[in-house]
Amino acid sequence: MTGEGPVRGGAGRTPHVRGYTLIELVTVLAIAGTCVTMAIPLTQTAVDEIRTAAAARHVAEQIAGARLEAVRRSTAVGFRFEPRGDDYRFTTYADGNANGLRSTEMAAGIDRLIARSEYLGEKHAGVRFGLIAGVSDLDGGRGSEDGVRIGSARILTLSPDGTATSGTLYLRGRRSQYAVRVLGATARVRVFHYDTGARQWITR
């Protein structure tokens, strides 16, 4: 039996496989690096937008939930916003003596604490109450960057009759801006997003 050697391509020669040159490798790495550099800011902006939008939805849901709780308890339920540095913490209370929510009665324990205090940044990193400098509020005003616009007492009350304190809460990320507006007569909650390109507020 005659043995056979390895089969070779062409005229008895092994095919030559051409590798990449150093210049080609450097070019590919340079292009890849450029793509990564461009993608990072876009990714950070997208994450910021997602977090700020989620925080706005969370606040809107908290307010809607308090409205249902007020009906269930047949008493006023609401939130007290307290400034802490450049942000606010907010705490949920229920009226304890049928005369509405009051700061003095919260401190005295008459208006009962029904949920622990919260900061937006606890669940939504980088988000806080505030208005980005240069962005006009929903009414076209400029200058104030305060994110809690619900009266001097900064208490947002939801009543069992379906009404509420009128006001607007502004939430900002690093670049993203949202607002949660409460209509007093109906306690309806609306969420707005500020379109930086069009420079206008859009309903979400």
d(CA 179, CA 57): 10
Using pLDDT thresholds of 50, 70 and 90, give the confidence band for residue 45: confident
User: pTM, whole model, 2 decimals?
Assistant: 0.79
Burial 61-70 (b: 16+ CB within 10 A, else e): ebbeebbebb
Specify the DSSP element, H or E, that contains 172.
strand 167-172
d(CA 71, CA 65): 10
Read off the DSSP letter of residue 164. B
Set out the domains of the chain in order of their start, with CATH numbers.
22-203 (3.55.40.10)
Q: Mean pLDDT, the chain, as a whole number?
A: 88
Q: What is the pLDDT of residues 81-112, one digit of tens each?
A: 999 999 999 999 999 999 999 999 999 999 99
